[in-house]
Amino acid sequence: MESPYTRLTSALIEWHGRRGRHDLPWQNERTPYRVWISEVMLQQTQVVTVIPYYERFITRFPDVATLAEAPIDAVLHLWTGLGYYARARNLHRAAQRICAEYGGEFPVSFAALVSLPGIGRSTAGAILALSRGEPIPILDGNVKRVLTRFFGVTGPPTDAAANKRLWQLAERCTPQEDVAVYTQAIMDLGATVCVRRKPLCDFCPLGEGCVARRTGRQHEIPAPRPMRARRSRQVFMLVAVREDRAVLLERRPDSGVWGGLWCLPEFDTLSAARIFADQSLQRTNEEPQALEMVQHSFTHFDLIISPLLTRCSGPAAVMDENQSLWYNTHEPARIGMPAPIKTLLDRLADPTLFDAPATGRLES
Ligand code: SF4
């Protein structure tokens, strides 16, 4: 009698021929490098968002050597808007290690791959399964959801015991042959049929054997993550604009939110922003002018940015060239920048902004 593992595997492989995705840009030439780039981009991000980013990235960095040699700013520039910027920094660091330690040859052993920055067990499995057909399991978010429902695994997927069980199931379901097709199929099913809300069970090739469907618990499995209270944080950002409309940007530290990206100088309080403007800039307007607030949502908190427009003729003190730059909004430098900062700078194209009288005195 066929085991539930082989039943799942063969149903998925058969389904993929009919309904799976066959025309994604990273499916054209499945080298380990290309699979790596696509898998990292697809972490926490949907296919439709990733496609244009992937195409631009591969055109600019067609191989690991080009990526390793590029300045980090060029890499972050092509990542602008994709979020989770640690992924881009890790790609760059890993490419440099591949060039230094493997002579630029992409490593194809599991142990070597998981030793590289940003490559975990599932990404290493995906690289080897999809580009080389090696029977190594993967367990990304989509695969977890399918296996959890099909086998009726209880407990939040973040729970260590549930996670261990899911890896065991993933191993058992991964076939010795047709691994690339199976791997793509289970990812596709999770992304298009066994979706988080309202799974399309009537169209699912796994419907018959699925525990969640049989017991009507599709909406309880996987168990939702415990809700965390959502925080919000307010910051002040100085939009220091020179007469030629260049804007002062600072590079953020590598760790933390927007690590390594170029951003407006940020302050926790209005008075700290004022002190910086007074001491570090040759200001030409009397009072910073409050611009419309910008809100940006991260996974666990909302950032509320209060921008303060300050006109100046330049810095009042020497600034570190590696950590600060005057950004020409007419000829933008190719640097990485958080999406809300880009939005804010795009607003500076409005000439009436500079004709508007300064707002009343701001309260600290
Ligand atoms: S039957 Fe429904 S819940 Fe089960 S794997 Fe298919 S889509 Fe998911």
What's the rounded Cα separation, in Å, for the pair 127 and 108? 8
DSSP calls for 218-232: TTTSSPPPPP-PPEE
Helices (H), 224-284: 270-280
- Ligand 1 pocket, residues with Cβ under 6 angstroms: 146, 149-150, 193-194, 199-201, 204, 206-207, 210, 212-213, 218
What is the residue with the minimal CA distance to atom 4 of ligand 1? 210
pLDDT of residue 106: 96
Give the amino acid at 293: M
Per the annotation, the verdict on 69 as an active-site residue is no
- From the list 2, 29, 39, 363, the catalytic residue is 39
Candidate CATH numbers 2.40.30.170, 2.70.150.10, 3.40.1410.10, 1.10.340.30; the one for domain 4-214: 1.10.340.30
Q: Which CATH class is domain 231-355?
A: alpha beta
Give me the helix-helix angle, 141-151 and 4-19, nearest 10°.
130
Reported in sequence order, the residue ranges of the chain that DSSP labels E, i.e. its strands, are 231-241, 246-251, 262-263, 266-267, 281-283, 289-290, 294-297, 301-315, 324-328
CA of 194 to the centre of ligand 1 (A): 5
CA of 7 to the centre of ligand 1 (A): 14
The best mutation among 193, 211, 214 to test binding of ligand 1, ranked by most ligand atoms within 8 Å of the C-beta, falls on: 193
pLDDT digits (tens, 9 = 90+) for 200-252: 999 999 999 999 999 999 999 998 877 778 899 999 999 999 988 899 999 99
CA of 126 to the centre of ligand 1 (A): 22
pLDDT at 83 over 80: yes
pLDDT of residue 171: 97
pLDDT digits (tens, 9 = 90+) for 152-183: 998 776 788 999 999 999 999 999 999 999 99
Contacts of 182 (CB under 8 A, 6+ apart): 9, 12, 13, 16, 173, 174, 175
In three-state secondary structure terms, 304 is: strand
Average pLDDT over residues 135-146: 96
CATH 3.90.79.10 placement within the chain: 231-355
Radius of gyration of the chain from Cα atoms? Answer: 25
Look at the block and give the residue holding tokens 């908190």. 301
CATH 1.10.340.30 placement within the chain: 4-214
